[in-house]
Amino acid sequence: MKKYDVIIVGAGPAGGVCARELSATGRKVLLVEKAKDFFANDFSSGGSTLETLKTFDLPESVVGAFCKQVRISSSEESHLWRSADPIAIVFDFRKLRTFLADETSNNGSDLLFASSYQGYETQDGIILVSFKKSGTRTIEQFQTKVLVDATGSERKVLSHGAPRHQNAIVGTGIEFLVEVPEEVYRSHAECLSFFIGQRWMPQGYAWIFPMEANRLKVGVGRNYPNEQVVPHQKSFRFYLDRLMSACLQTDAITILDQHGKTLSYTSHQRDRYFDKNIIAIGDAVSTVNPLTFEGIRHAMMSGRVAALHVNNLLDNKIVNFQGYKVAMRRMSGFKWIVSEQLTQNIYREADDQKVNLMLGALKSFTMETLLDLVFYYRLKSAVKFYAAYTGLRLKAALTRSG
C-alpha cells in the first residue's frame, strides 16, 4: 500500500492549491479527483479579481478573458461602469485546475483521476483511505498522515456527504459556453455583465462573461432558502433562452458546452472544519460567498491556509487544526454574514420596482466602490448601498403619496 503525508480528495481550486503548496514544501501528496478529467466538470464561470493571479502566482494562460467593464441590468434598465485598465478576469476553469494539478505533479507528488472517495478508517494514528475506480469495482487503498476534504459542496469526507444544513443557502447555476459571431462577441468582450430582476431570474441572477475570442459564458443561477422550497415556475432553460435572445440578438449561436452545479453555503459557516487529522477546505466549509456565489479565490485561499497548518501539524508544531478554523472564520466571518443579509434582500425581492431602485442606488457608485461591494464585501460599501437604496425608496413613496 502506498504511503503519503497528505491525501487530498477533490482537485477543485481548493484541493489544487493545497496540493501545489504542500508538494512544493516537499510533502508527499496524493491529489484524487472523481472526474475523469477537467473537461468533465468544467462547471464554473470563473469570474475573479485581477489580483488573484498575483496572489496565487498564476500564469495568464489560465485566464479566458481580462475585463475592464462591469454592467448591471435590471428588468428595465442597465448601467455600465468602465475602467481604463483591467479590473477583473474570467478564469478558464479547466485550465486553472489543470495548471494546479500539473504543478503538484511537477513537484513530485501523485495524481489520481476517475477515482471516487469511499471512506476511511484509522489504525494507530494512520489513516487508510479507500477509492473506487470509476466504471469498475476496483477499490484502492492508500495510507496517509493527514486527510483533506476538498470535495466542495458535496462535503464527502468530513461530513460524510451529510444532508445539507437546515439553514443552508442553496444555489444552482447552469451555464452555456457559446460561440457567437465576432461582432456579437465584441459587444460583450472585456465586460462582466450581471442581470437581476424577475425578467432575468427570479430569486437569482443571470450573467454573460467573455472567454477567448468569439466565446461567451451565458448563465443563470437561482438561490432559495432550502431544497424543499423552490418557488419557480419556469425552467433554467427558459431564462437562458430569454437572456440569449435579448442580449446576443443573433441566431448564429453554437452551444459548445453545458454545465452546472448546486452549491450549498451553510449559514454563518457552521461547518465541520476538522476532526483529528482530517481537515476540510473550500466549499466544503462554505468559503463561497453567499451573495455573489463567487468562490474560486476564497477556496484557493483556504487551500493555502490549510497547507500551512498541515505542515505545522506534520512538524509537530501544533496538535490540531483549531488555529485553521479560527483563521478561516476571521478571514470571511462578518463579511459573509453581511453578504447573507444582502442575499435575503436582493435575490428574494419579488418586486421589480424595488430591484430597479437597487440598481438606481448602485448608479451612484464609482467602479471602485462597486468592486468594494461585489468583490471585497466591504461593510462601508454595504452601508452606502443600503443608505442610497433607502433614500430612493423614501423618495418613491413620497412621490406616490403625492
Ligand X SMILES: Cc1cc2nc3c(=O)[nH]c(=O)nc-3n(C[C@H](O)[C@H](O)[C@H](O)COP(=O)(O)OP(=O)(O)OC[C@H]3O[C@@H](n4cnc5c(N)ncnc54)[C@H](O)[C@@H]3O)c2cc1C
295 binds ligand X (CB under 6 A): yes
Our CB check for ligand X shows the closer of 101 and 362 to be: 101
By CB under 6 A, name the one of 5, 92, 149, 175 that touches ligand X: 175
Q: At its nearest, how many Å lie between ligand X and the CB of residue 242?
A: 17
Segment 248-267, which members bind ligand X (CB under 6 A)?
260-261, 263
Question: How many Cα atoms occupy the beta-carbon half-sphere of 174 within 13 Å?
Answer: 12
Q: Which is nearer to ligand X, 297 or 384 (CB)?
A: 297
13 binds ligand X (CB under 6 A): yes
- Which DSSP string do the residues of 29-62 spell out, in sequence order? EEEE-SSSSSSTT-----EEETTHHHHTT--GGG
What is residue 160's three-state secondary structure? coil
Q: How far is the CB of 282 from ligand X (least distance, A)?
A: 2
Least distance to ligand X from the beta carbon of 94, Å?
A: 11
How big is the site for ligand X, counted in residues (CB under 6 A)? 39
Minimal distance, residue 112 CB to ligand X, in Å: 9
Q: Which range of residues in 7-15, 223-231, 247-255, 265-273 is near ligand X by CB under 6 A?
A: 7-15
- CB of residue 40 to ligand X, shortest distance in Å: 8
Residue 192's nearest CA partner among 172, 216, 174 is 216
Q: SS3 of 231, please?
A: coil
- Considering only residues 19-38, where is the footprint of ligand X by CB under 6 A? 32-35
Q: Is 170 in the site for ligand X (CB under 6 A)?
A: no
Q: DSSP assignment of 305-349, as one string?
A: HHHHHHHHHHTTS-SSSHHHHHHHHHHHHHHHHHHHHHHHHHHT-
Q: How many whole angstroms from its chain centre is CA 371?
A: 17
Site for ligand X in 82-141 (CB under 6 A): 116-117
User: Which of 289/356 has CB closer to ligand X?
Assistant: 289
Of the candidate spans 41-49, 225-233, 247-255, 330-338, the one that interacts with ligand X by CB under 6 A turns out to be 41-49
CB atoms under 10 Å from CB of 98, counted, come to 18
Whose Cβ is closer to ligand X: residue 288's or residue 358's?
288
Is 9 a binder of ligand X (CB under 6 A)? yes
Tell which residue, 144, 159, 47, 148, has the closest CA to residue 92: 47
Task: Give the cell for residue 292.
Answer: 455573489
State yes or no: residue 191 binds ligand X (CB under 6 A). no
Q: How far is the CB of 399 from ligand X (least distance, A)?
A: 37
DSSP state of 201: -
Residue with cell 418586486: 351
CB contact at 8 A, 27 and 5: yes
Of residues 15, 21, 20, the one with CA closest to residue 35: 15
Cβ closest to ligand X, residue 100 vs residue 355: 100
Is 195 in contact with 206 (CB distance < 8 Å)?
yes
Of 282, 301, 310, 340, the one binding ligand X by CB under 6 A: 282
CA separation for the pair 253, 60 (Å, rounded) = 27
Restricted to residues 202-221, the positions that interact with ligand X (CB under 6 A) are: 219
Residue 296 binds to ligand X (criterion: CB under 6 A): yes
Question: What are residue 78's phi and psi, to 5 degrees?
Answer: -150, 150
- d(Cα 125, Cα 159) in Å, to the nearest integer? 20
Where do contacts with ligand X occur on this chain (CB under 6 A)? 9-15, 32-35, 41, 43-48, 116-117, 150-152, 154, 156, 173, 175, 219, 260-261, 263, 282-283, 288, 293-296, 299
